[in-house]
Amino acid sequence: MTSQTLIILALVLPALTVLVIPLFHRQPNLRETITITSSGLLFLTILILLIRVLDGERPSIELIRVVPDLPISFAIEPLGMIFAAVAGTLWIVNSIYSIGYMRGNNEPRQTQFYMCFALAISATMGIAFADNLFTLFLFYEVLTLSTYPLVTHKGNAEAKAGGRKYLIILLGTSTVLLLPAIIWTWFLTGSMTFTIGGIMAGKVDGLTLGLLLALYVFGIGKAAVMPMHGWLPAAMVAPTPVSALLHAVAVVKAGVFTVVKVIVYIFGIDYLADTGAGDWLLYIAGFTILMASVIALRQDNLKRRLAFSTVSQLSYVVLAVAILSPISAIGAAMHIAAHAVSKITLFFAAGSLYTAAHITKISQMRGIGRKMPWTMTAFAIGGISMIGLPPTAGFLGKWFMLQGAMEGGKWVAVGIIIISTILNAGYFLPVIVSAFLRPVDPNASKDKDIVTDHGEAPLGIVIALTLTAAGTIALFLFPGPLYELASAMVDMGTEVTNVAPEPPALPVGGNSHE
């Protein structure tokens, strides 16, 4: 099959799943088989694409032009490939986990759950492979809308309130800030295509450039840069598989992915560095990293703590790209993958604790390590990766970020990374230590909600979290392909801008409005 066909397949497979699942809503086993099969096929598709992209192929395809200036088109570049591979691979694991979790907790409306989930994956693939801002925006909005029913899955007042916040912040930022930014970009440069070295050079400068960057950074609400982060803790009312794959991987990564993509392929790292229009971003990202960590320290609800940890970790990616050096950009790309696999492990563990023991709070986790060793070992690995210690994936991204920051003399960034590492340790290590070393709280059995006579969670859950925990370590041990892709992204970027410094091109034809 040609790579073009495979790109379409990656989008269509999950979308077809959406249509097929409701046909089997009375046969849950068959229904889940469809999800698993489809995720397996998607994985294969992405694997073939990954091999080809590693070989240097850069397939692209244009589907249709909505209006002459708005093409829906796809092209695979290394960063998108990383994102698609991460989301696609984790979908399989998450599907296994979902089956265990949704059945273990007797959740209602499971058909709707699997449908929306598949649609969200399709949208994620669209974002990963988008060749221009319009295509990306289209799927970005589909992702918001398809995950809304998942956030509100419980259907109670809390879910409804969380859902409202989710929708208003995500739709609000994207329509009020991101969309005007895209229209403005098109208007100023006459292009929306992701281009190596960016499209802004020579066409946009000064205050406009900084303003546009701000519109993008805050308009991409999914990246959860403060103060646009409020939707993420609100989204934690969703069932845990949703928090795990969507709000630790697909949705939030779609956010930072878009930020990286816009800075690398629309603004151009070198151009932003030369003009200094993006210097403020470093501070905003740094503030978010530290602030979110401080808030996370104070959360007793496990999923909320993880959510704020995600807010903090997402801004690592933004910080890394804001350092505006090629090496830290590699770090940004690697951190997208590393954080994905570690954070999904942590959420899997949180869901496992809830399913087996109805534990939702950190204060209830004392001594739980003895009863649920698999779960808590995985949790420990995920936590260590969050802190960024070897032998876990979290170490990789931080290493490159630090290297880039030091080479660029961005000592503020270095300081932020160091302080936040200490903070991360502050909110993960005590949890791990008390779960394994302290005795079970004798008062716990009085709490009616908590189950005390339990073992490990259902098998599906344990398999899933073991796999991702293993993945967290494997990524550290074998970072080859990931590094190759990440550096390919940067090589292309600097190569072209260094070799051929373009003269300020004149806007073409009808688009000359300057």
Partner 1 sequence: MIVDNLPALQVIVPLLGAILCVLVRRGWLAWFIALVVSWIVPLIAVALILQVLDGGVISYAMGGWAPPVGIEYRVDLLSAFVLLLISMVGAVMLPYANLSVESEISDGKRAWFYALYLLCMTGMLGISITGDAFNAFVFLEVSSLSTYAMIALGKDRRALLAAYQYLIMGTIGATFYVIAIGILYTMTGTLNMVDMSGRLGDVATVRPLFAALAFLTVGISLKFALFPLHSWLPNAYAYAPTFATAFLASTATKAAVYLILRFFFSVYGVALVFGIHPISEMLIALSLMAMFGASIVAVYQDNIKRMLAYSSVAQIGYITLGFGLANVPGLTGGVVHLANHAVTKGALFLAVGGIVYRMGAAHLDDFKGIGKKMPLTMAGFTIAGLSIIGVPGTAGFISKWYLAIAALEHGWGWLVMLLVLSSLISVIYIGRVVEVAYFREPEGKVMNATEMPLSMLIPAWVMILATIYFGIETSWTAGIASQIATDLLAGVQ
Task: Name the site residues for partner 1 (rule: CB under 8 A).
Answer: 64, 66-67, 70, 72, 134, 137-138, 141-142, 145, 149, 152, 155, 160, 164, 167-168, 171-172, 175-176, 179-180, 183-184, 186-187, 513
In the complex, minimum distance from the CB of residue 150 to partner 1, in angstroms, rounded to a whole number: 13
Q: Which long-range contacts (CB under 8 A, 24 or more apart) does 506-514 make?
A: 507/189, 507/190, 507/203, 508/190, 511/187, 511/189, 511/190, 513/187, 513/188, 514/188, 514/203
Collapsing DSSP states into helix, strand and coil, what is residue 501?
Answer: coil
- Least CB distance from residue 393 to partner 1, whole Å? 34
Which C-beta is closer to partner 1: that of 141 or that of 441?
141
Q: Which amino acid is at 342?
A: S
Closer CB to partner 1, residue 255 or residue 397?
255
Element (H, E) at 60: strand 60-67
Tell me how far, at minimum, the Cβ of 439 lies from partner 1, in Å: 43
By beta-carbon proximity to partner 1, the closer residue of 162 and 255 is: 162
Q: Report, in Å, the least distance between residue 40 CB and partner 1.
A: 28
CB of 23 to partner 1, least distance (A): 14
Minimum distance, C-beta of residue 186 to partner 1, in the bound complex (Å): 8
How far lies 181's CA from each of 26, 250, 262, 369, 508, in Å? 46, 23, 11, 49, 20
Whose Cβ is closer to partner 1: residue 134's or residue 218's?
Answer: 134
Q: Looking up tokens 């950074």, which residue turns up?
A: 217
Q: What are phi and psi of 141, to 5 degrees?
A: -70, -40
Nearer to partner 1, 170 or 338 (CB): 170
What is the 3 state secondary structure string of 404-425? HHHHCCCHHHHHHHHHHHHHHH
Q: What's the closest the beta carbon of residue 236 comes to partner 1, in angstroms?
A: 18
In our burial notation (b when 16+ CB lie closer than 10 A, e otherwise), range 56-79 reads eeebebeeeeeeeebbbbbbbbbb
Nearest approach in angstroms of CB 207 to partner 1 is 12
For the chain, the distance separating the N- and C-terminal CA atoms, rounded to the nearest angstrom, is 45
Nearer to partner 1, 200 or 282 (CB): 200
Smallest gap from Cβ 180 to partner 1, in A, equals 5
Q: Give burial (CB, 10 Å; 0-12/13-18/19+) of 217.
A: buried
Nearer to partner 1, 183 or 433 (CB): 183
Give the list of residues 6+ apart from residue 151 with CB closer than 8 angstroms, or none.
159, 162, 163, 166, 234, 235, 237, 238, 242
One-letter amino acid of 349: A
In terms of CB distance, is 128 or 269 closer to partner 1? 128
When the beta carbons of 137 and 400 are compared against partner 1, the nearer one is 137
- Between CA 267 and CA 265 the distance in angstroms is 6
